Amino acid sequence: QFFVFCHGLLQLSQLLVSGYLKSSISTIERRYGLSSQTSGLLASFNEVGNTLLIVFVSYFGSRVHRPRFIGCGAILVSLAGFLMSLPHFITGPYEYDQSVASMSSNTTDLCQPRVPGSRGNLSDADCTSHAAKENHEVLLVMFVAQALLGIGGVPIQPFGISYIDDFASERNSPLYLGILFSVTVIGPGVAFMLGSAMLRFYVDIDKVTRDGVQLTNKDPRWVGAWWLGFLVAASLVAVSAVPYFFFPREMPKEVGEVLRIALLALRTNLLYLYAHFPLVLLRNLRHPVYLLVVLAQVNLSAMVAGLATFMGKFLERQFSLTASLANMIIGAVNIPGAMVGIVVGGAILKRFQMSLRQCSAMCVLGMFLCLLVAFPLLFLGCPTQKVAGITYSESSEFGHHALECNLQCNCPEKAYNPICGSNAVEYISPCSAGCRVVNINADINSVLNYTNCSCISENGLAGSAKPGTCGTGCSHLFLPFVVLSCLAGILASTSHTPSFMLILRSIQPEDKSFAVGIQFMLLRVLAWMPGPVLYGSAIDTTCILWEKKCDRKAACRYYDNHLFRQR
C-alpha cells in the first residue's frame, strides 16, 4: 500500500512537469518569440524519447530491479523539469517597449518629430549575433529537456503497474490500479491550476523590484513567471523518487497465487511475441474492429492533444482573458468534465453489461452528440479587435503601417506597446497613434493615459488613449462557450471505456497485452506527436501581425479571430 501511495504521488508530479508546459505555452511563446508550430513541436517532443524506448522497457520489465529503475527514471524527469526552467536564468531580463524611461533605458515610444540626421527612437541595436545565439540556446535546452522528460517517464508507468500487479492480491489489484488511473486523469487538471497560480507573478520576480514593473497581468505584453512552476514540479518529482531506492526487488504477495502463474504465461508470451512479432502485428492490424477502433481513437486523441496544448491560448485571444484565468477554466472545468465523462461511460457499461455491438453503438452515439453540442462553438467567439493600420483603417489604403497622421513621428518599425484610443481603436504603440504626452501615476510608477494623439480625433481635437489592448469586447459569449465545450468534452469521453472494451474483446486473448501496446504506440506516433504540431501550424496561418526578431518571424502579435476559431 505504501508503494501504491508513492507511485500515485510520483505519477502526479511527473504529470505536473509535462502538463505544466501546456499551461504556460502561450507565455513561453511570448517570452522567447516562438511561433505556435515551434511551441507545438516542443510540447509533443517528450513523446519522441518515450516512444523510442517503451518497447524495450516493456520487454525487459521482468529481468530488472523495477523500483530502482523507476527511481532512476524519476530522477531523469526531475532533471528535465529543472532544465526546462534554465532558460530563465541564462537569459537577461524580459524587455518590452515602454513609453516611460525606466532605470534600464531612456528610449521611448512616444511620437517625437524627426530631427534631421538622427536615428529612430528604438534602435535595432539589440539584434546582435549574441541575441540570435541566445535564442538558439534557449530552444536547444528546452528540446533536450523535453526529450529527457520522455525518456525518464518510460519506466514509471509500465514497471509500476506490473510491480503492483505482481504483488497485490487479485481482490485489491483492480482497486490499486484504479487509484493510479484516477491520479493520471487528475494530474493535468492540477498542472493547469499550478499554471494559473504561477502566471500571476511577473516573469522577472527574482531580477527586478516590484516598482520596476510597469505591466499589469492584463497587458498584452505581460509575461508570467512560467519557470516557477517547473521548479515546483521538478522538486516534487525529486522528493517522490527517494523511496524507490529502498523498495525490495520482490515483495511477499498479499495473498492468492493465481496471478503468478498468469504472469509467467505472459512472460513466455512476450518472448514468443518478439520471435513472431511481424505475424502477430499483421494478425491484429488485419482485424477490422481493432483497426477501426484504433483509428477512431487516433483521430480523437490527435484532437485532444492539440486542444490541450492550445486551448488556453485560444481562450486568451478570443475572449481577452489573462493566461492565469484561461488555465483556471481548463483545470477546473474542462478536465474535470472529461473525468466525469469517463466515469459515466464506465458506469453505464457495467450497469447494462453491454455486448460488443452495444459498445460500438454507445461510442457512435457519444461522438455524435458531442459533435452536435460542439457545432455552435464555430460561431461563439469574438471579432478581431480594430487595430489601426492592421485590421482597420479609416482611409482606403488598407494594411499600410504608416498612417498619414503619424508620418512626422519617426516611429520605430517594431515598437509594441498597445494602447486603446478613446475612439475604441487599438494602436500598436503610442507613437503610431501620434501621442506626444504621457501621464504617469507616480505612486505606483504606472501609465495613466496618453494625450495629444494626432491619429485619434475627438470632436476635431487630438484625442487620448489608455494603455493596454482594447480587448475583443464580447465577454457575454464566454460563459456559453465554456458550458458547451465542457458538455462536448463530457459526451466525447463517455466513449473512452467502451472503445477500450471493443479492443480487448475483439482480439485473441493471447494477443491482448501486445494489442494494447501496439495501440498506445499508434496513438503516440499518429496522434500525440503530430497533433500539437498540426494545431500550431494551423494557428500560425491565421496570424496578421508577426513580431520581428532579427529579421525572423518570432511570436504572433495579432490573430484574425474568425479564422483562428474556425481552423
pLDDT digits (tens, 9 = 90+) for 364-407: 999 999 999 999 999 988 888 888 877 776 654 444 444 577 77
221 and 295 housed in the same domain: no
pLDDT averaged over the chain? Answer: 82
Backbone angles phi, psi at 224, to 5 degrees: -85, 170
Give the angle 341-196-334 at the CA atoms, nearest 5°: 15
Q: Which three cell numbers stand for residue 273?
A: 511475441
Task: Summarize the confidence of residues 268-276 as an average pLDDT.
Answer: 57
Tell me if 121 is assigned to some domain.
no
Which ranges constitute the DSSP H helices of 276-399? 277-285, 288-319, 323-329, 335-352, 356-374
Whether the per-residue pLDDT at 159 is higher than 70: the answer is yes
438 and 420 housed in the same domain: yes
223 and 335 housed in the same domain: no
Task: Summarize the confidence of residues 78-90 as an average pLDDT.
Answer: 95
426 and 507 housed in the same domain: no
d(CA 253, CA 44): 38
Backbone angles phi, psi at 323, to 5 degrees: -60, -35
34 and 89 housed in the same domain: yes
206 and 336 housed in the same domain: no
190 and 232 housed in the same domain: yes
The single-letter DSSP state of residue 392 is B
Q: Which three cell numbers stand for residue 129?
A: 549575433
Task: Summarize the confidence of residues 310-327 as an average pLDDT.
Answer: 92
Task: Summarize the confidence of residues 45-62 as an average pLDDT.
Answer: 73
d(CA 177, CA 336): 19
d(CA 520, CA 498): 16
Whether the per-residue pLDDT at 75 is higher than 90: the answer is yes
d(CA 237, CA 16): 9
Whether the per-residue pLDDT at 449 is higher than 70: the answer is yes
Mode of pairing for the β-strands spanning 446-458 and 461-467? antiparallel
CATH number of the domain residue 14 falls in: 1.20.1250.20
d(CA 125, CA 226): 27
The DSSP result for 104-151, as a single string, is S-----S-----TTPPPSS-STT--HHHHHHHHHHHHHHHHHHHHHHH
| Residues contacting 105, CB < 8 A, separation 6+ | 98
Residues linked to residue 463 through DSSP beta bridges, in sequence order:
453
CA dihedral for 96, 98, 103, 104, sign (positive or negative): positive
Contact 490, 268 (CB under 8 A): no
Tell me if 524 is assigned to some domain.
yes
Whole-prediction pTM: 0.84
Residue with cell 470632436: 459
Per-residue pLDDT band at 452 (split at 50, 70, 90) = confident
Residue with cell 526529450: 147
Nearest to 329 by CA among 457, 198, 542, 479: 479
Reduce the DSSP state of residue 227 to 3 states and report it: helix
Percent of the chain whose predicted confidence (pLDDT) is above 70: 83
Among 50-64, 160-174, 178-192, 277-291, the range of highest mean pLDDT: 178-192
Reduce the DSSP state of residue 387 to 3 states and report it: strand
CA 136 vs CA 207, 230, 532: distances in Å: 22, 20, 21
Give the angle 402-407-411 at the CA atoms, nearest 5°: 70
| Residues contacting 32, CB < 8 A, separation 6+ | 87, 135, 138, 139, 555
Which DSSP helix (H) or strand (E) runs through 90?
helix 66-90
CA dihedral 111, 113, 117, 120 (to 10 degrees): 10
Whether the per-residue pLDDT at 345 is higher than 70: the answer is yes
Sequence-separated contacts (24+) of 323-326 with Cβ below 8 Å: 323/24, 323/26, 323/27, 323/195, 323/199, 323/217, 323/224, 324/195, 324/196, 324/197, 324/199, 324/200, 324/217, 324/224, 325/196
Tell me if 92 is assigned to some domain.
yes
Rounded (to 5) percent helix, strand, coil in the chain: 60, 10, 30
pLDDT at 102: 46
Which DSSP helix (H) or strand (E) runs through 439?
strand 435-441
Out of 429, 449, 467, a domain closes at 467
Among 29-38, 182-191, 431-440, 449-458, the range of highest mean pLDDT: 29-38
Contact 98, 417 (CB under 8 A): yes
Tell me if 175 is assigned to some domain.
yes
347 and 434 housed in the same domain: no
Task: Summarize the confidence of residues 99-124 as an average pLDDT.
Answer: 53
CA dihedral 359, 360, 363, 364 (to 10 degrees): -140
CA 95 vs CA 86, 204, 230: distances in Å: 18, 10, 22
Tell me if 119 is assigned to some domain.
no
240 and 308 housed in the same domain: no
pLDDT at 121: 45
295 and 353 housed in the same domain: yes
Tell me if 447 is assigned to some domain.
yes
Instruction: Name the least confident of 5-19, 73-87, 156-170, 224-238.
Output: 156-170
Out of 416, 448, 467, a domain closes at 467
CA dihedral 429, 431, 436, 438 (to 10 degrees): 20
Per-residue pLDDT band at 423 (split at 50, 70, 90) = confident
Reduce the DSSP state of residue 380 to 3 states and report it: coil
The DSSP result for 470-534, as a single string, is -----GGGHHHHHHHHHHHHHHHHTTHHHHHHHHHHHS-GGGHHHHHHHHHHHHIIIIITHHHHH
CA 342 vs CA 16, 73, 346, 496, 500: distances in Å: 21, 29, 6, 6, 11
Tell me if 195 is assigned to some domain.
yes
Domain that holds residue 355: 275-384+471-566
Return the higher-pLDDT residue of 90 and 108: 90
Per residue in 206-223, pLDDT tens? 887 766 677 777 888 889
d(CA 466, CA 422): 8
Task: Summarize the confidence of residues 29-49 as an average pLDDT.
Answer: 91
Out of 467, 487, 519, a domain closes at 467
Tell me if 269 is assigned to some domain.
no
221 and 296 housed in the same domain: no
pLDDT at 387: 86
139 and 57 housed in the same domain: yes
How many distinct structural domains can be found in the chain? 3
pLDDT at 396: 40
Reduce the DSSP state of residue 448 to 3 states and report it: strand
